[in-house]
Amino acid sequence: MRLLRIFFIGILFCLIATQAAASDSSSFIVKHIRIQGLQRISKGTVLSYLPINVGDRMWPSDSEAIIESLYKTSFFQDIKVARQGNTLIIRVIERPTIGSIEITGNRSIPTDKLKDSLKDSGLAEGRVFDRSTLTSVKRALEAQYFDLGRYTAKVTTTVTPQPRNRVNISIHVAEGKVAKIKQIKIIGNKTFKEKELLKQFRLSTPKLLSFLTQNDLYTKDKLRADLERLKSYYMDRGFLKFKIDSSQVAVTPSRKNVYITIHVTEGPKYYFSGFKLAGKLILPREELRKLITIKDGDVFSRKAVIAADQAIGNKLGDLGYAFARVVPQPKVDDKKRMVFVTFFVDPGHRVYVRRISFTGNSKTSDEALRQVIRQMEGGTFSLSNIKESERQLKLSGYLKDVGVKTPLVPGTNDQVDVNFDVKETPSASVFVSLGYGSDGVEYGAGLSQTNFLGTGKYLNINVNHSEYERDAVISYNNPYYTPNGVQRGFSLYAHGFRPEEIDLSDYETDRYGGNMSFAIPVGKKDDFINLSLGAEREHIKAGSDAATEVTDFINEHGRSFNEAIVAGGWSHNGYDQAIFPTRGLNQSVGVDLSLPLDSDSLTFYTIDYNAHYYRPMSPLFILSLRGEAGYGGGIGNTKGLPFYENFFAGGIDSVRGYDTDSLGPRDSQGNPFGGNVLLDGSIGVVLVPLSTGSLRTTVFFDGGNTFQDKLDLGDLRYSVGIDEEWRSPLGPIEFSLAEAINADSDDDKEPFQFQIGTSF
């Protein structure tokens, strides 16, 4: 028994010794680490990721840890671990890098935006290529197009190996067409009919003008916006607890059409039980209460609450509290269905403007821009002055885009900087012009600058010639003549008119003159009183086939006249921007008096009123209303308005569809002669989907005419048509296609009219 026990102990001892020897033979002390297969990645980078260092004992299980840690870096597509003596050998095959990414076929999403999206997903030039990432990106891109309603979109990718372990990636997008909306159904509505609710939507099923508005094409963002409009519609009519339970978009098997179903819960109707103001009000309580339109018993309206919030915030913003917070806190009584609103006012600190800066003005001086803005550096921050400064910069005529930011000055809570970012319109000081319009060939040369030498001053030296007019003008205007905004200008001119060349009466006029003018701001500087004083010499020559009206006038008054021209008027510019305004009223009224300089002078007057109004009707349409009225007559011994001062109507700048200056009274020869009474106007709708920053498309209805002594509304001429204005790089171009509605047999119709001006 004792011998048996000794035998087993011996066997156990041998097993332990054998295991220890085996362990010692499979592990080793790492004296060197050799990495094979590196091309771009440095050895130091690899070593930094290893879980083992020189001097450590390496066990067989450490191989898996090494491979796992290196795979996590995404640098390698294959990793092997080996041993040579006390040297650890790691063999790797690096993943290729992305040499280039080419995207083709995309039209709806810009290439730059797509590349930014790829970069965020880890796919960019210079990065390590991972095929699984490319697969994920492909799916993400298709999802982006699905959100745009392009359910037939397909993204294909091609990976092309290149030298030095690089790959080129080609991504081709077949966008397909946007799915059309076949039906929009609202379920759960009880108070309002579905037809009324769908009027709040921009999306719709196909309609007559859908090819222009494209509102029958589905996108996820458009639906989201429409759902928000639906929610606002209910919440502005008392339905405080209204909610959209679901919005389902069913795509047809062809993926070309969608059916939208919206489930809603209206909830009960709520009413206002009153409101109160709390917090630090700054202004008298009664003054703030006037800004709130909420009344006891009124139907609850989220719009009214937001309007009160904004009104108080804007009021405090004008007093320098740039970061004022107004928090409406509703207290809802579900039993009585009443809502009491507490407006908690936190004005914050009063803020001052430390510095005003401009960027993007490479031509225009900072001084000229500072003359335009309303906010003063070092003064109290005013929200309305900031907004008005932005508008005035847009009205300057030499800036096409203006942005403004008001960052808080670092380390302070009561100072901001005002940073205006502007984009200037192209301007050429010396030019040659060549054009052809409905009135024939025109050419000219000169110097014309609305922003002369970047000062914001206007200088014009111009010589123009057409078949019926010749002009030479030198004019200058300084809009900053005085610190309070008075403008002063000068003008010298020579003008020749040959109406026979455009089938009007057979006579010629030549006039020479000059004037000095002032524009004096009144009110909020949108309004100006305009004054001008000048002198003019007029010479008339009757043609061989002159009408009786012309020869009789010359026989009675002579051919040459010297006159003093005194003019006065008022103008208002309420546009939001100078180029292609979208809202606001621009109007002016002017009176010109011709007074005697000698015994042969004529004395007469003209009164002219102009107005143009823009108002957005929806994101798709802008209403445009234009009107002009004029009247002239004689003073003293001059009976009536001289015929060469008559008003004219017709043409691309008046009643389109009729020949230029062809409407109104005619002379004894049957040629258009103009009249001393003018009335014309236009109702237009700007089609926003067919317009851009440089192109404007307008459908119009024009009406107007000129008359002699008495206005006859029954004799107005009308037309309808479409007009295109293009601010091309080479100058403005305008086309109109119009149909004269009630043309008389004597009227000269001209359906297609255009003006082209080219500068080079």
CA distance 503 to 650: 13
Backbone angles phi, psi at 120, to 5 degrees: -65, -25
Burial label for 671, CB within 10 Å (0-12, 13-18, 19+), is middle
Dump pLDDT digits (tens) for 261-281: 999 999 999 999 999 999 999
Q: Could you tell me whether strands 758-759 and 430-437 are parallel, antiparallel, or unpaired per DSSP bridges?
A: antiparallel
Of 16 and 45, more confident: 45
| Residue 442 pLDDT level (bands cut at 50, 70, 90) | low
| Residue 238 pLDDT level (bands cut at 50, 70, 90) | very high
User: 492 and 577: one domain?
Assistant: yes
Angle at 258 between CA 257 and CA 262, to 5 degrees: 165
User: 294 and 391: one domain?
Assistant: no
Q: Are 70 and 92 in contact (CB under 8 A)?
A: yes
For residue 428, is pLDDT > 70?
Answer: no
Answer whether residue 5 is part of any domain: no
User: 500 and 522: one domain?
Assistant: yes
Identify the weakest region by mean pLDDT among 195-204, 370-379, 412-421. Answer: 370-379
Residue 520, token pair as written in the block: 């004096």
Put the strands of the sheet holding 76-84 in their side by side order.
32-36, 87-94, 76-84
Mean pLDDT along residues 20-36: 73
Answer whether residue 374 is part of any domain: yes
One-letter-per-residue 3-state SS of 526-565: CEEEEEEEEEEEEEEEECCCCCHHHHHHHHHHCCEEEEEE
For residue 242, is pLDDT > 50?
Answer: yes
pLDDT confidence of residue 745: 84
CATH number of the domain that residue 527 is part of: 2.40.160.50
Q: Which of 679, 726, 724, 723 is nearest to 701 (CA)?
A: 723
Answer whether residue 18 is part of any domain: no
| Residue 759 pLDDT level (bands cut at 50, 70, 90) | very low
CA distance 683 to 12: 109
What single-letter amino acid sits at 199? K
pLDDT confidence of residue 656: 94
Answer whether residue 15 is part of any domain: no
Length of the chain in residues, anyone? 760
pLDDT confidence of residue 758: 40
User: 520 and 652: one domain?
Assistant: yes
pLDDT confidence of residue 20: 44
User: 185 and 88: one domain?
Assistant: no
| Residue 5 pLDDT level (bands cut at 50, 70, 90) | low
Query: Between the CA of residue 382 and those of 316, 351, 619, 737, what are the distances in Å?
Result: 9, 9, 29, 47
First-residue to last-residue Cα distance in the chain: 121
Count CB neighbours of 113 within 10 A.
11
Mean pLDDT of all residues belonging to the chain: 87
For residue 716, is pLDDT > 60?
Answer: yes
Token pair 């795979």 is found at 71
User: 542 and 654: one domain?
Assistant: yes
User: 474 and 621: one domain?
Assistant: yes
Question: Cα 591 from chain centroid?
Answer: 37
Mean pLDDT along residues 78-107: 87
Number of domains forming the structure of the chain: 6
pLDDT confidence of residue 2: 58
Q: Are 371 and 361 in contact (CB under 8 A)?
A: no
The parent domain of residue 244 ranges over 180-265
User: 606 and 746: one domain?
Assistant: yes
Dump pLDDT digits (tens) for 600-643: 889 999 999 999 999 999 888 999 999 999 999 999 888 899 99
For residue 432, is pLDDT > 90?
Answer: no
User: 582 and 448: one domain?
Assistant: yes
Mean pLDDT along residues 427-438: 53
pLDDT confidence of residue 3: 52
Q: 277 has which bridge partners?
A: 343
| Residue 398 pLDDT level (bands cut at 50, 70, 90) | confident
Q: Is the pTM of this model over 0.75?
A: no
For residue 105, is pLDDT > 50?
Answer: yes
Residue 355, token pair as written in the block: 């510095």
Q: Are 693 and 684 in contact (CB under 8 A)?
A: no
For residue 722, is pLDDT > 90?
Answer: yes
User: 664 and 727: one domain?
Assistant: yes
pLDDT confidence of residue 619: 82
Q: Are 137 and 123 in contact (CB under 8 A)?
A: yes
Of 686 and 134, more confident: 686
One-letter-per-residue 3-state SS of 482-510: CCCCCEEEEEEEEEEECHHHHCCCCEEEE
What single-letter amino acid sits at 531? L
Q: Which of 411, 418, 343, 330 is nearest to 380 (CA)?
A: 418
